[in-house]
Amino acid sequence: APADYAVWRTSDLVVQAPDDRVARWSTDPRSGTPGLPDLSPGAELPVCLRTVVGGRPVFVGPDE
């Protein structure tokens, strides 16, 4: 089936959790918890490089 997805360029991937015990557990590679882009104030924001809908590109960034 045709896919819908976006490709992003991001700097650091982080695991943020309000509870320090959860944050320590989540950063363990064995937990399988994926990192997410750092969206905290002052961090470099992710940039969308390409968006595909129904298997067809609908947006292609200038760097692609």
Residue-range domain boundaries for the chain: 5-60
Strand ranges for the chain from DSSP E: 5-9, 13-14, 36-37, 47-53, 56-60
Span 9-18, pLDDT tens digits: 998 888 766 6
For residue 57, give the nearest of 5, 15, 22 by alpha carbon.
5
Span 18-37, pLDDT tens digits: 666 655 555 566 666 678 89
Question: Is this model's pTM higher than 0.75 or not?
Answer: no
